[in-house]
């Protein structure tokens, strides 16, 4: 797609006989956050490795920042990316400040400018009281915030976050989310992989669900829940003596309440309330439950998880 910061077309990766990524296609536009959702083993990390130049695709194409992601341009693209990987790659023997300064040197950033950026990013990560602490002295949440700060040292045009909050407690996770939201407000383009539905709901403008190596659904966190195979549930209680079989549409009993599943809630609610008025039957405790992102995700991916390569 013209103007996209990332464009993957029919991206495929094989490891021997195993097909880890199977014809994946998606794009990320400037200034948006795309959430790539999927269980462990779905192909998320393998896709990220190809996109960032750390693995060669078996087939298909990747363009990043307008350049083809091939060995000849990989170093140019990497210089314009910020990447937060799943693994903690901080130097455990160096201080917070020294980790950032050493990393800045990899990009050829001059000492004075590097010091300015390091000061700014330490404030961004709320690590001012820990700048002389070694990595061994930091909590897990502090280390993740530091990795995020480190990924911003080169002022990247694209930020790639691979499971950025895995293993964090809820408080630490929310601190990382707030830093990511701040970057979004500033216009940073972000590609986020996650299997936390709340994370995708809070951060992503669009989501793409990947399962068994290929994209199975795309949309916004809200509209993707409108898929036909994730029906709205209308639930209510009928008075004694009135059976679900008397309703003008198929219904079932669930936890003591009548449940009607539909792909067209407006039509069914109109039909249902019209029947209730004509029959003089009250519909008590009526609720309409739309499928959540998690409902759709589980419906699309199932509950089983494999080990990802």
* Nearest-10 crossing angle of helices 140-151, 96-106: 30
126 and 262 inside one domain:
no
Q: For the ranges 67-81, 180-194, 274-288, 293-307, which has the lowest average pLDDT?
A: 293-307
131 and 243 inside one domain:
no
pLDDT on residue 265 = 84
Domain hosting residue 286, numbered range: 232-290
163 and 222 inside one domain:
yes
170 and 253 inside one domain:
no
Residue 300 in this model has a pLDDT that exceeds 80: no
pLDDT in tens, 169-198: 999 999 999 999 999 999 999 999 998 888
213 and 245 inside one domain:
no
pLDDT on residue 230 = 55
Give the number of domains in the chain.
2
135 and 24 inside one domain:
yes
pLDDT in tens, 124-174: 999 999 999 999 999 999 999 999 999 999 999 999 999 999 889 999 999
- Evaluate whether residue 309 is within a structural domain: no
- Evaluate whether residue 253 is within a structural domain: yes
Residue 308 in this model has a pLDDT that exceeds 50: no
Closest of 39, 30, 26 to residue 217, by C-alpha? 26
- Evaluate whether residue 42 is within a structural domain: yes
Q: What is the mean pLDDT of residues 16-30?
A: 94
Rounded to whole angstroms, the Cα distance separating 163 from 283 reads 45
pTM of the model: 0.78
pLDDT in tens, 39-48: 888 899 999 9
217 and 237 inside one domain:
no
198: domain CATH number is 3.40.50.300
Q: What is the mean pLDDT of residues 112-122?
A: 97
159 and 240 inside one domain:
no
- Evaluate whether residue 282 is within a structural domain: yes
- Evaluate whether residue 138 is within a structural domain: yes
pLDDT on residue 294 = 74
pLDDT on residue 76 = 95
179 and 252 inside one domain:
no
Residue 224 in this model has a pLDDT that exceeds 80: no
Q: What is the mean pLDDT of residues 115-132?
A: 96
Residue 62 in this model has a pLDDT that exceeds 70: yes
- Which of 226, 252, 278 lies at the terminal end of a domain, its last residue? 226
pLDDT in tens, 233-288: 899 999 999 999 999 999 999 888 999 988 788 999 999 999 999 999 999 999 99
250 and 137 inside one domain:
no
pLDDT on residue 305 = 46
pLDDT on residue 232 = 83
- Which of 226, 241, 257 lies at the terminal end of a domain, its last residue? 226
Residue 309 in this model has a pLDDT that exceeds 90: no
104 and 76 inside one domain:
yes
187 and 272 inside one domain:
no
- Evaluate whether residue 296 is within a structural domain: no
- Which of 177, 201, 226 lies at the terminal end of a domain, its last residue? 226
Residue 37 in this model has a pLDDT that exceeds 50: yes
Task: Classify each residue of 102-118 as buried b or exposed e, where b means 16 or more C-beta atoms within 10 Å of its C-beta.
Answer: ebbeeeebeeeebeebb
- Evaluate whether residue 95 is within a structural domain: yes
- Evaluate whether residue 276 is within a structural domain: yes
């Amino acid at each position: 797609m013209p103007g996209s910061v990332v464009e993957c077309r029919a991206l495929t990766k094989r490891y021997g006989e195993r097909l880890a990524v199977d014809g994946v296609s998606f794009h990320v536009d400037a200034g948006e956050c795309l959430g790539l959702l999927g269980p462990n083993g779905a192909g998320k990390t393998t896709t990220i490795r190809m996109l960032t130049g750390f693995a060669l695709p078996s087939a298909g194409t990747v363009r990043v920042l307008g350049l083809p992601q091939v060995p000849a341009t990989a170093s140019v693209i990497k210089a314009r990316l910020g990447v937060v990987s799943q693994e903690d790659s901080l130097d455990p023997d160096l201080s917070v400040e020294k980790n950032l300064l050493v990393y800045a040197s990899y990009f050829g950033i001059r000492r004075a400018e590097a010091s300015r950026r390091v000061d700014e990013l330490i404030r961004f990560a709320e690590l001012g009281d820990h700048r002389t602490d070694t990595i061994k002295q930091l909590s897990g949440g502090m280390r993740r915030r530091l990795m995020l700060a480190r990924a911003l040292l080169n002022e990247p045009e694209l930020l790639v976050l691979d499971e950025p909050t895995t293993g964090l407690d809820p408080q630490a996770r929310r601190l990382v989310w707030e830093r990511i939201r701040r970057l979004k407000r500033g216009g940073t383009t972000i590609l986020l992989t996650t299997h936390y539905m709340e994370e995708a709901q809070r951060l992503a403008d669009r989501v793409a669900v990947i399962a068994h190596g290929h994209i199975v659904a795309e949309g916004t966190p809200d509209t993707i829940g409108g898929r036909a195979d994730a029906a709205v549930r209308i639930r209510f209680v009928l008075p004694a003596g009135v059976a679900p079989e008397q309703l003008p549409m198929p219904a079932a009993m669930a936890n003591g309440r009548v449940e009607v599943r539909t792909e067209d809630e407006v039509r069914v609610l109109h039909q249902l309330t019209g029947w209730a008025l004509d029959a003089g039957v009250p519909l008590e405790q009526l609720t309409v439950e739309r499928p959540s992102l998690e409902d759709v995700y589980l419906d699309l991916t199932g509950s089983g998880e494999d080990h990802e390569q």
